Structure 1
Amino acid sequence: MSYLIAALVAAVLWSPEAFGKTVTGLFKSEVAREQNGQFITKFMYQGDHGLLVCRLDNSPLAVEKESRLLLYQDMDEGLDNLSCSERLARAQLTISLSQEEHNQTIPRQSSPTAWQALYADRYTCQDGMEIPSHADLSFTVLLFNTDSAGNPLEHFSAEEAGLHSFYFLLLLAYFVASCIYIQPLHQALRKGGPMHTVLKVLSTALALQGGSALCNYIHLARYSRDGVGFPLMGSLAEFWDMVSQVSMLYMLLSLCMGWTLSRGRKTQSRPLQWDSSPASRAVAVGGVVTQGVLLLWEQYSDSETEHHSYHAQRSLAGILLIALRVILALLLASVLYQIISTERSTLKRDFYLTFAKGCFLWFLCHPVLVLISVVFNEYQKEKVVTIGVILCQAISMVILYQLFLSRSLYWEVSSLSSVSLPLTMSRANQRGRY
């Protein structure tokens, strides 16, 4: 696990940065020729008075190169089949870069629409013309939607609008819940007990989810002011979320595999421990490593993805990640069905059923929400998946907390855990306490 976490840290913190809504860089004639127009950024405008501001450090050089910024509305793959000159001619708006600063108002959008900005100059479509060894043009591009007062001051693209407020409300809910439940939970952890390790993993995963929400809020709070934010905070948010995901997966798989492998055994000399079953540990580690690799692959699969922990999956890595979660849910369903169908104790059957609800909600919320998001507009899909998965997984954690802490189930079931429940921490000389 430590090696996997170290790999996640390195991959997330040193991954290529996404395109921000304040974009700085260099206009390069060579790149513009290779790509039939150098891609600069993409932004989804909505409503009236959308604005694009382009600032140059060397406007005389831009005039000499006949530099221009081309804006395309809903640019599709059909442009790839056009010649260079035809492709540039299809631009809805053309900004001739002849001054240090250009302000371009975007036409009114009846519905949120994606616009892409490309750079071109006199050398872009002239393959036979040698490109002089001029210095590249330094630029800064700012993109704005209108705020609540109708002024073009909002850096958020239409698909991101509202996420800042969501993370604020989520942090507020975490704070209120921690104030109410932190003391009872601390007391339960201090007492120990058969499910002590489970509660520790749940608490750690929940704390990591809270840390991810805090990092996202800090990043978006700064982003709302300058369009750049704290990219490191966005990367940390994704990292904490990935660690939380693999921790929960390891715990849930260990629990289910431990239950399965322990059935039919005679009473053990001591309760099943976290690492007492090599087979269950191998299954859990295999699932964790597979998910970790797919999460890392997903980070690199789409260079335009913003710092969100969940995405309406379009990449191969994202599709495989969803397939893995569905497969794991089916595996757990099979395991729990075998246990529940042969279990005679009503109390333990209720315990397993409640546990199954928490597991299925955790694993299936992402695939189901991605499927549901198909019926929403393009700018709504990302928010539906992101907000829905965070809320569903938080509810799943609450269900598992209630299950393992409730007096009606936890204490009575844990008293039988020496033969049926894994991940227990009691020892033979402590068994008389429970």
Structure 2
Amino acid sequence: MSRFLASLTAVVMLGSAARGKTVTGLFRSKDARRQNGQFVTRFMYQGDGGLLVCRTDSAALLEQKESRLLLYRGADSGPDALSCPEKLAKAQFTIWLNREEHNQSIPRQSPPTAWTALYADKYTCQENAAISAPDDVGFTISLFNADSAGNPLDHFSAEEAGLQSFYFLLLLAYLIACCIYIRPLHQALRKGGPMHTVLRVLTAALALQGSSALCNYVHLARYSRDGLGIPRMGSLAEFWDMVSQVAMLYMLLSLGVGWTLSRGKKPQSRPLQWEQSRASTAVAVGGVVTQAALLLWDRWSDSETEPRSYRAQQSVAGLLLVALRVVLALLLASVLYQIISSERSTLKRDFYLCFAKGCFLWFLCHPVLFFTSVIFNDHQREKVVTIGVILCQSIAMVTLYQLFLSRSLYWEVSSLSSVSLPLTMSRTNHRGRY
């Protein structure tokens, strides 16, 4: 498992180059000819005050090549069936690159609309013409929406607006919860007990999710100022989120399958602890590897977007990831139904029902939000999926915490003595005597 996590770290950290809203690169005539216009960037403008600023390294050379920046309204620059001249002629705005700096204002966008920028020159539609001038010219393009004061200073496109505030509030909630519950949780972890491993995994998963939120906030805070942010920090946030999901998936699958396989082999008086077998471990590891592979595939298949674990785009990897979580939810539903239907103890049956609720919320929130997002506008879908999944999975983790740390239910479900149980009723009554 450690080797697998190390490989995952290398792929995410070294393989994901985030694209900011201050874009730097090279205008290349060869790329423009091959693509019928070199793709530069796309940005979703909203309201008034939209602005594009383009700075180039050699205005004289670009003027010699009759270079221009083409702006298309919409995510695409036109149907593929169009010829090269027709495609270039469909641009809403043409910026001739004959100066070192160009400022292009964008008309009011209601509703928010994506704009695509392409580079073209006199060689773009001439397939057989030799490119005599030097091919590479450096550029820097900054894209802005209006801020709260109406000035074009906001690098966030419409689909990203509000995420920085969300991560700030999420971090604040984590900090408050940590201050309140860190002491009893620390005592429970030190004391041990039949659910000690579960509590450790839950704690690690929540800590990783909090670390992901912190990295995302740091990246977006910097991003709001320069349009670049800290891409490695965004990639690190996505990695921590992946590891958190892997840990939770392994725990939920191995618990549910392990409980089912252990029934009938051990007396009912045994506590509901983490039961491991070859079969349960194989199912859990198989689910973990499949989910990790699909997450990486989804990330690589959409390498032009900001690092993010939850996406509303209907890519093949994204659809397979949604299908996997539905299948795993059905598997757990079948496993838990077998346990609940044969369980005689009401308290244990309630324990399994609460566990099932937490599992289904964690597994099904992404598929449900993924398909529900189609009713929202384009600029709202990413935020609905991202914010919704993070909140639902956090609630699921808290639900499982309450279940495994519950004083009365935990005391009744386990048959161990009060000495080995954290946060039991006997310890509470013992303190009350003094």
After TM superposition, give the deviation of residue 8 of structure 1 in Å: 1.1
Q: Does 1:203 align with 2:203?
A: yes
After TM superposition, give the deviation of residue 122 of structure 1 in Å: 0.7
Question: Aligned residue for 2:285?
Answer: 285
Greater alpha carbon shift after TM alignment, 293-302 vs 377-386? 293-302
Question: Aligned residue for 1:420?
Answer: none
Structure 2 distance, partners of 1:17, 1:365, is 28
Q: Does 1:108 align with 2:108?
A: yes
Asked if the contact 1:4–1:292 (Cα under 8 Å) also holds between the matched residues in 2, the reply is no
Question: Aligned residue for 1:50?
Answer: 50
Structure 2 gap segments, 5+ residues each? 422-426, 428-434
- 1:128 is paired with a residue whose SS is coil
Question: Aligned residue for 1:61?
Answer: 61
- 1:310 is paired with a residue whose SS is coil
* Percent identity over paired residues: 75
Asked if the contact 1:66–1:121 (Cα under 8 Å) also holds between the matched residues in 2, the reply is yes
Amino acid across the alignment from 1:104: Q
Question: Aligned residue for 1:294?
Answer: 294
Q: Does 1:18 align with 2:51?
A: no
Asked if the contact 2:68–2:119 (Cα under 8 Å) also holds between the matched residues in 1, the reply is yes
After TM superposition, give the deviation of residue 396 of structure 1 in Å: 0.2
Aligned CA distance change for structure 1 residues 345 and 77 (closer, same or farther; 3 Å): farther
- 2:42 is paired with a residue whose SS is strand
Structure 2 distance, partners of 1:382, 1:414, is 43
After TM superposition, give the deviation of residue 133 of structure 1 in Å: 4.8
Aligned CA distance change for structure 1 residues 274 and 267 (closer, same or farther; 3 Å): same
Question: Aligned residue for 2:161?
Answer: 161
Greater alpha carbon shift after TM alignment, 166-175 vs 299-308? 299-308
Amino acid across the alignment from 1:50: G
Greater alpha carbon shift after TM alignment, 19-28 vs 311-320? 311-320
Query: Could you list the per-position Cα deviations for residues 145-170 of structure 1 after superposition, in whole angstroms to 9, with x for gaps in the alignment?
Result: 00000000000000000000000000
Asked if the contact 1:336–1:352 (Cα under 8 Å) also holds between the matched residues in 2, the reply is yes
- 1:79 is paired with a residue whose SS is coil
Q: How does 1:90-109 map to 2 (within 5 A)?
A: 90-109=90-109
TM-align CA RMSD: 1.9
Q: Does 1:152 align with 2:155?
A: no
Question: Aligned residue for 2:137?
Answer: 137
- 2:40 is paired with a residue whose SS is strand
> May I ask how many residue pairs the two structures share in their alignment?
420
Structure 2 distance, partners of 1:403, 1:134, is 67
Structure 2 distance, partners of 1:77, 1:95, is 16
Asked if the contact 1:209–1:240 (Cα under 8 Å) also holds between the matched residues in 2, the reply is yes
Structure 2 distance, partners of 1:4, 1:245, is 14
Amino acid across the alignment from 2:183: Q
Question: Aligned residue for 1:127?
Answer: 127
Amino acid across the alignment from 1:216: N
Amino acid across the alignment from 1:297: W
Query: Could you list the per-position Cα deviations for residues 270-291 of structure 1 after superposition, in whole angstroms to 9, with x for gaps in the alignment?
Result: 9797574111111111111111
Structure 1 distance, partners of 2:274, 2:222, is 42
After TM superposition, give the deviation of residue 127 of structure 1 in Å: 1.2
After TM superposition, give the deviation of residue 14 of structure 1 in Å: 1.1
Question: Aligned residue for 2:318?
Answer: 318
Structure 1 gap segments, 5+ residues each? 418-424, 427-432
Amino acid across the alignment from 1:251: M
Asked if the contact 2:195–2:274 (Cα under 8 Å) also holds between the matched residues in 1, the reply is no
Question: Aligned residue for 1:399?
Answer: 399
After TM superposition, give the deviation of residue 293 of structure 1 in Å: 0.9
- 1:80 is paired with a residue whose SS is coil
After TM superposition, give the deviation of residue 203 of structure 1 in Å: 0.1
Greater alpha carbon shift after TM alignment, 8-17 vs 242-251? 8-17
Question: Aligned residue for 1:409?
Answer: 409
Structure 2 distance, partners of 1:226, 1:78, is 30
Asked if the contact 2:29–2:135 (Cα under 8 Å) also holds between the matched residues in 1, the reply is no
Question: Aligned residue for 2:8?
Answer: 8
Asked if the contact 2:212–2:238 (Cα under 8 Å) also holds between the matched residues in 1, the reply is yes
After TM superposition, give the deviation of residue 315 of structure 1 in Å: 1.1
Question: Aligned residue for 1:421?
Answer: none
Asked if the contact 2:295–2:309 (Cα under 8 Å) also holds between the matched residues in 1, the reply is no
Asked if the contact 1:112–1:158 (Cα under 8 Å) also holds between the matched residues in 2, the reply is yes
Question: Aligned residue for 2:224?
Answer: 224
Structure 1 distance, partners of 2:165, 2:133, is 48
- 2:80 is paired with a residue whose SS is helix
Asked if the contact 2:16–2:307 (Cα under 8 Å) also holds between the matched residues in 1, the reply is no
Asked if the contact 1:20–1:227 (Cα under 8 Å) also holds between the matched residues in 2, the reply is yes
**What is the TM-score when the length of structure 1 is the normalising length?**
0.94
